Amino acid sequence: MDDFLNIWGCFFKIEGIVQGVSFRRHTKQEAKRLGIRGYCMNSKNSSVVGEIQGPLDRYMKMKAWLTHVGSPLSRIENAEFQNERLIFNYTYPQFRIKSEDNDPNAERLLNADDSDDNMT
C-alpha cells in the first residue's frame, strides 16, 4: 500500500525529565530522520506534548522512540498516545517545535480525561 494511503496520526504526552534536556530538539531530529510530520511543545505541567503523523512503520518507530529513547539527558517516566487514527492527508508540512502558547488545544485534548484541572 502506498504511503499516502497509510498515514497514521496521534497526540502524545511525554512525562518525566523532558524539559531543559533538549527533548524537543532531539524529537524534531528523530522525526525528520523518520519522515514524521507534526509538532511538539513544552506544556505547563513539565511534560512535552504534540502530534505525530506518518506511514505506519515510521509512525510506530517514532512512538517507540518517544516511549523508550528520548534525548540523552531525558528520563521518560510515562508516554501517552491518544486519538490514534488513520488519516487521509497530512495536516502538517513537516515536524516543528511550537512554543507553549501556539496551540492550547493540544494540551487540553491530552488532559481531557484527567480530573486534575490545573494542567490546562
Going from the C-alpha of 48 to that of each of 6, 9, 78, 86, the distances in angstroms are: 26, 17, 11, 23
* Active-site entry in 37, 42, 58, 111: 42
Does the annotation mark 42 as catalytic?
yes
Task: Tell me if 21 sits within 8 A of 73, measured CB to CB.
Answer: yes
Write phi, then psi, for 29 (nearest 5 degrees). Answer: -65, -45
Of these residues, 24, 37, 58, 111, which one is catalytic? 24
For residues 87 and 30, give the distance between their C-alpha atoms in angstroms, rounded to a whole number: 21
- Alpha helix (H) ranges present in 1-120? 23-34, 56-68, 104-110
Known active-site residue 78 = no
Q: Which residues have a catalytic role annotated?
A: 24, 42
